[in-house]
Amino acid sequence: MQFPGQPKEFPHDASQSIRNMSDMETGPNTKLEKQGLVHIGTGVNVKGTFEDCDTVEIHGSLDGEIQTRELIIHEDGYLTGMATCQIARILGGLDGEIEATELLQIQATGRLDGKVNYTRLMIEDGGLITGEVCPSAKPIQQKAATLTNKTLDVTPAKTTNQDITTGTFAVK
């Protein structure tokens, strides 16, 4: 039975291999697959949630939530929702919440509006963040714990007659 708009069948070339369902279950076609990669192409609009991804690249738009190691929103890409990641590179737009546990990088074309929590922040000239922006408390607490195990020598590294509140100080 033919349905209107249904693609026509092409003659099968016997030299090509056909993969049946049992082949797909036991071994993926690794030539076409990169583990943990989500790629939303230009002009594609997606609604949903992505969890435990390695890399997410957005050229189109996503309305939803992402949990990934690395998030890249390209110039024409847009995310509306929430993102939790280690590294984020924003060249396009994000409207919502983001938590970057290692690095949040806003490129010159990047626009971010919403609630931002970051460990390290880099903003290129032209990049824009509006909304609630706060650094993560975790790295600050870790640094403070490291310093409590060391004694601070408050004498200047070079012996001079200058006030000891200025100059170079050594941490032992």
Report pLDDT digits (tens) over 51-85. 999 999 999 999 999 999 999 999 999 999 999 99
Residues in the chain: 172
Q: Which residues pair with 56 in a beta bridge?
A: 38, 71
The mean pLDDT of 42-55, rounded to a whole number, is 94
Are 36 and 53 contacting, i.e. CB atoms less than 8 angstroms apart?
A: yes
Query: What average pLDDT does the chain have?
Result: 75
Count of CB atoms situated within 10 Å of the CB of 97: 16
Q: 168 or 129: whose pLDDT is higher?
A: 129
Residue 12 confidence class, pLDDT cut points 50, 70, 90? very low
The CA-based diameter of the chain, rounded to the nearest angstrom, is 97
CA distances from 80 to 19, 67, 103 (A): 38, 14, 20
- DSSP E strands, the chain: 37-40, 45-58, 61-73, 78-90, 93-106, 111-118, 121-123, 128-135, 152-156, 169-171
112-134, pLDDT tens digit by residue?
A: 999 999 999 999 999 999 999 99
User: With 80 as the cut, is the pLDDT of residue 16 above it?
Assistant: no
pLDDT class for 27, splitting at 50, 70, 90? very low
pLDDT of residue 73: 98
CA distance 149 to 4: 75
Kindly report the pTM of this predicted structure: 0.62
